[in-house]
Amino acid sequence: MDNDQFEHRKEKLNELRSLGINPFANGYKPDTLAGGLISKFGETPANELESRNEDYSLAGRVVGLRDFGKSIFFHIADRSGKMQGYLKTDVVGEDSLKFFKKFVDLGDFIGIRGNLFKTRTGELTVNVKEFKLLTKTLHPLPEKWHGLKDVEARYRQRYLDLISNPEIREIFLTRSRIIKLIRMFLDQRDYIEVETPILHPIAGGAAARPFETHHNALGMDLYLRIAPELYLKRLVIGGLERVYEIGRTFRNEGVSTQHNPEFTMIEFYQAYATYEDLMDLIEELICLLAHEIKGSLVFEYGGSEIDMTRPWKRINIIEHLEKTLGKEVLSDDAKLFEKARSLGVDHKGIRGKAIVETFELLTGEELRNPAFVYGFPLDVSPLARKNEADADITDRFELYIFGREIANAFSELNDPIDQKERFLSQLDLKLKGEEEVHEMDEDFVTALEHGMPPTAGAGIGIDRLVMLFTNSPSIREVIFFPHLRPE
RNA sequence: GAGCCGUUAGCUCAGCUUGGUAGAGCAACUGACUUUUAAUCAGUGGGUCACAGGUUCGAAUCCUGUACGGCUCACCA
């Protein structure tokens, strides 16, 4: 950490203090943003700018510095963009220029005030009349041309990544816009946003390994939620007919380009809707995002094209397998298990698992453009409503885009007796060797016994959605601080 | 968890094949320069070559192990 540049800057800091100048000054109030000035005056002719002769004050980090002896050009960056400043002896005086040259380094924050002019090359520039050092920086910034490339440093010191790689900032601005648009979309449809517990006594609502924690005063173990589902449905029971929650969810599983131990999902529930209604709703929502973010329903991701033109494909899992494997395989468990095994599926004698995982292995290109996959078997869908024509499957679908699961939704099971049996049958799966099953939640069953209106609900992985719309190859690119091992 | 690849100055990278006292650009420092914008010009300093062992007269370079990271696979959303 300690290098000559760090030492130089510390010396400057001490010298400033001995001069009675606070190197971490407070209270400077800029009246303008760089981006605002550029959009307002970027096209204004030079002579008109001169005749206006209005002063503006800006503040920001010094991100470029060119010293010409008796004058200095620099750029400062604020949240809106960059602005060039020009400092010359004629205007600020010799002492002030010397001070700047001696004490202002790349990376420092300064406030500047002056009128606007255009340089020979036409760049809008502040003719600095006065400036103030606001924050001294002790470390040099990453290299100006190549930025910060080292992936590990980018994640561990994300602030440096954000300073030196403008495209990273754009990714996170887009992330923020996407979440805002989703809120707007649901709010317009009379949904309310709610918050439910993150600390759960029973890790329910999904089949995943939870993080465990402990409450000292209550003397009880708790789990970080693996899904908000069961709490949101309790709210529907309570009469909140349209609810959604956007929030962090935690799963104690592997880390990859698609998985972070904590990730953001949205779940929403709508009374009197069916899973088919949610297909339409999700289609509409994601197309809105594509339109707002990409300006088109056809855009590039990972070097290939994604076409979101509606209507989206709807693929029945069973029919798809019957077509690719033959009807006889689906009608005979022994044949199905053997086929699944031969493809490398560890189905543990669970029919639903064999079907779903075999399906996933056998699909490819057809799941690149958005596709609703439906017809999920009952035993792998313990919270979903039974299909009225076929008791072996549920009214559930998953949305795939670019071969990735983006959303999972279903008509909710609201029969408490059936729900209890489904929980119990999850125990059978556990006995067959399935490690991750849905836990029995008696309290939730009691809630259902008080009556949940017919309802459909969905969960969407926000991080994956953001990846799609920012053309990011890894989930780590859309999460500010992805989990890494300690250095 | 397994396989492959990577780790050299504050940053971006050469050097490793074929072992012989560590290189460039940016950044820093000194100086010149009043419209530059990757400013330019002259000069200077800066390294536990990730870490630990081994081979060798001699290791950034070859070998082994460890740590961290990336990609692929497995579990999963």
Q: What's the pLDDT tens digit per position in A334-391?
A: 889 988 888 888 888 889 999 999 998 888 788 899 999 999 999 999 999 999 999 9
Question: How long is the CA A150 to C1' B63 vector, in angstroms?
Answer: 28
Each residue of A313-341: pLDDT tens digit? 999 999 999 998 888 888 888 889 988 88
Question: How long is the CA A299 to C1' B59 vector, in angstroms?
Answer: 52
User: Which among A405, A474, A399 has a CA at the least distance from the CA of A171?
Assistant: A474
pLDDT category at A2 given cuts 50, 70, 90 is low
> What is the nearest nucleotide to A86, using C1' and CA?
B35
Q: Taking residues A152-170, report their average pLDDT.
A: 95
Structure token pair of residue A61: 């980090």
pLDDT category at A95 given cuts 50, 70, 90 is very high
Where on strand B do bases come within 7 A of a protein Cβ? 1, 6, 9-13, 25-29, 32-40, 45-46, 67-77
Q: Taking residues A18-30, report their average pLDDT.
A: 96
Q: Where are the beta strands (DSSP E) in A68-123?
A: 71-78, 81-88, 109-118
Question: How long is the CA A146 to C1' B43 vector, in angstroms?
Answer: 26
Residue A366: predicted pLDDT: 85
Average predicted confidence (pLDDT) for chain A: 94
Please give the residue that has the higher pLDDT: either A325 or A20.
Answer: A20
Residues in chain A: 487
pLDDT-above-70 percentage for chain A:
100
> What is the nearest nucleotide to A227, using C1' and CA?
B77
Phi (first) and psi of residue A430, to 5 degrees: -65, -40
Question: How long is the CA A245 to C1' B59 vector, in angstroms?
Answer: 59
> What is the nearest nucleotide to A148, using C1' and CA?
B11
Question: How long is the CA A1 to C1' B56 vector, in angstroms?
Answer: 34
**Residue closest to B6, CA→C1'?**
A150
**Residue closest to B36, CA→C1'?**
A73
Question: How long is the CA A191 to C1' B61 vector, in angstroms?
Answer: 64
Structure token pair of residue A437: 């099953």
**Residue closest to B7, CA→C1'?**
A150
Q: Taking residues A18-43, report their average pLDDT.
A: 96
If one counts every other C-beta atom within 10 angstroms of the C-beta of residue A126, the result is 26
> What is the nearest nucleotide to A118, using C1' and CA?
B35
**What distances in angstroms separate CA A237 from CA A34, A193, A271, A295, A445, one per listed residue?**
51, 16, 9, 39, 11
Question: How long is the CA A317 to C1' B53 vector, in angstroms?
Answer: 56
Q: DSSP state, A392?
A: T
Structure token pair of residue A429: 């799966």
Cβ atoms A258, A434 nearer than 8 A:
no
> What is the nearest nucleotide to A255, using C1' and CA?
B76
Cβ atoms A114, A103 nearer than 8 A:
no
Cα separation of A288 and A295, whole Å? 9
Residue A279: predicted pLDDT: 97
Each residue of A192-241: pLDDT tens digit? 999 999 999 999 999 999 999 999 999 999 999 999 999 999 999 999 99
Residue A362: predicted pLDDT: 87
Cα separation of A58 and A60, whole Å? 7
Question: How long is the CA A143 to C1' B16 vector, in angstroms?
Answer: 26
> What is the nearest nucleotide to A260, using C1' and CA?
B77
Lowest-confidence range among A207-216, A248-257, A276-285, A357-366? Answer: A357-366
> What is the nearest nucleotide to A257, using C1' and CA?
B71
Cα separation of A402 and A304, whole Å? 9
Tell whether pTM > 0.90. Answer: yes
Residue A254: predicted pLDDT: 85
Residue with tokens 């053997």: A338
**Residue closest to B10, CA→C1'?**
A140
Does the pLDDT of residue A1 top 60, yes or no? no
Question: How long is the CA A101 to C1' B33 vector, in angstroms?
Answer: 14
If one counts every other C-beta atom within 10 angstroms of the C-beta of residue A417, the result is 10
Q: Taking residues A439-459, report their average pLDDT.
A: 97
Phi (first) and psi of residue A113, to 5 degrees: -140, 135
> What is the nearest nucleotide to A125, using C1' and CA?
B35
Residue with tokens 């929403």: A268
Cβ atoms A140, A127 nearer than 8 A:
no
Cα separation of A213 and A220, whole Å? 9
Q: DSSP state, A94?
A: H
Question: How long is the CA A149 to C1' B50 vector, in angstroms?
Answer: 17
Question: How long is the CA A146 to C1' B41 vector, in angstroms?
Answer: 24
β-pairing, A212-215 with A396-401?
unpaired
Does the pLDDT of residue A31 top 70, yes or no? yes
**Residue closest to B69, CA→C1'?**
A152
Q: DSSP state, A150?
A: -
**What distances in angstroms separate CA A141 from CA A6, A167, A297, A298, A331, one per listed residue?**
11, 17, 39, 38, 65
> What is the nearest nucleotide to A160, using C1' and CA?
B11
